Structure 1
Amino acid sequence: MNMSSPARKPIMTLYSGYDCTYSHASRIVLFEKDVDCKIEYVDSSEISEVLADLNPYNETPTLIDRELVLYSSTLINEYLDERLPHPPLMPVDPVSRARARLMVRRIYRDWTRLLPTCIGKDVKKATEARMAIRDGLTALSPVFAVQAYLLGEDFSLVDCYMAALLWRLPSCGVEMPPQAKSVSEYAHRLFSRRAFQQSLSEIERGLRQKKSA
């Protein structure tokens, strides 16, 4: 997939999984930045062959910017925000930036890493994982009752990670309760953004289509 116009050569290449939560967050950042970037989707069975000389961990996402090769979604996304400062997706002051990084860590550690367990064969562990995600996100309801996005009224890098997570909840069997209405409204705001819609792979679009079918 080429994000650039036919007359312009992409300045970056992102190797992305078709349905990789971490890759998805990076794609959202790229489209929010409206950067000329070539997105190369890599099937899980092809990762070793394609990325063997680029990434010692053979994982997506992997970003190439001229001579620089980066892997790890958090490193890639912060690099993109510094490399392409408009629009800014991270706070300016050190304290707020630290809080944003802490929230990103919480998203990954408390919720995103549980998604594979939600669809695993161990029913007990799957149920526990779904409950942990549901309850953790429900606890954020008061935040979205008073502000549009996770860090305030402006869309940020943290919301990119949340968007990738929230989009996958129905396909993982996570249903938000009525008392989490403000979280659902927040998710709708994220999904309505043009950059988010552009970031979706065909497989990711299918996650919601299958649920509604």
Structure 2
Amino acid sequence: MMTMASVGAPRSRNTLTLYSALDDVVCHRVRLVLAAKGVTYDLVPVDPQSPPEDLIDLNPYQSVPTLVERDLVLYAASVVSEYLDERYPHPTLMPMDPISRARVRLAMLRIEHDWVPQVQAIQLGNKTQAEAGRKRLAELLVQSIPLFKASKFFLNTEMSLADCAMAPIIWRLHALDVPLPKDGKVIEDYGNRIFRNPGFARSLTEAEKKLRAMPE
């Protein structure tokens, strides 16, 4: 069991435990939320192909990420992320007005349904599936350039839960052998704004640190 460092002063002893794979875009999403909030927690590394017995007892799907806080057990990255944003409200990672919040939730849904499966196909699929995943991920990047241009962060002027879902994908593009599109500097600039944040560095496992170099 490892303990992830906090941002600023610790919040007394850890009450949170996160079961997480060490190189997984969905688990990274939750670790980034925790880092942005400055919350300390115990990290239990999990091989998704061979989950530990305690995770099997806690989560009927045996999936990661799984968050445990005393008697509360949560799973599914979207559920865990929104719980953490409400449980630790500063800094907030959701807009205040309902329309903007709905847009962020839709963005997260699109990332989960459209983007994440391509990453998983590249990492876990056979050669044909991986190539199809690369092609589709490249298409999604091209289609999303106007969204990256529209605001400093993804659909918002401040970092949100949508960025916590998107940034781990952008961090992995080089390792996934997916080049940025011709007009992709705006995506590179977006990623670097997040990657330079000390919280992002703290969200990375040792395996994820090796995927690419930190921007200067």
TM-score w.r.t. the length of structure 2 is 0.89
- Aligned partners of 1:11 and 1:37 also within 8 Å: yes
Q: Distance in 2 between matches of 1:9 and 1:152?
A: 34
Q: Distance in 2 between matches of 1:83 and 1:96?
A: 20
Cα shift readout 1:101-141 (whole Å, capped 9, x = no counterpart): 11101111111111122245643432222121112122222
- Greater mean alpha carbon deviation, residues 87-96 or residues 77-86: 87-96
Give 2:17's match in structure 1, choosing from 9, 13, 18.
13
Identity of aligned residues (%): 40
Q: Distance in 2 between matches of 1:51 and 1:156?
A: 29
- Aligned partners of 2:11 and 2:39 also within 8 Å: no
Cα shift readout 1:55-101 (whole Å, capped 9, x = no counterpart): 11111111111211001110000000011110000112222212111
- Aligned partners of 2:46 and 2:52 also within 8 Å: no
Flag structure 1 segments of 5+ consecutive residues without an equivalent: none
- The AA in structure 2 aligned to 1:68 is L
Aligned ranges for residues 201-212 of structure 1 at < 5 Å? 201-208=205-212
Residue 157 of structure 2 is aligned to residue 157 of structure 1: no
Look up the match of 2:92.
88
Q: Distance in 1 between matches of 2:102 and 2:10?
A: 39
- Greater mean alpha carbon deviation, residues 4-13 or residues 41-50: 4-13
TM-score w.r.t. the length of structure 1 is 0.90
- Aligned partners of 2:21 and 2:64 also within 8 Å: yes
Cα shift readout 1:25-53 (whole Å, capped 9, x = no counterpart): 00000010001322222233541423011
Flag structure 2 segments of 5+ consecutive residues without an equivalent: none
Cα shift readout 1:136-193 (whole Å, capped 9, x = no counterpart): 1222222333421012220111000011111122221211122111011111112111
RMSD over aligned Cα atoms: 1.9
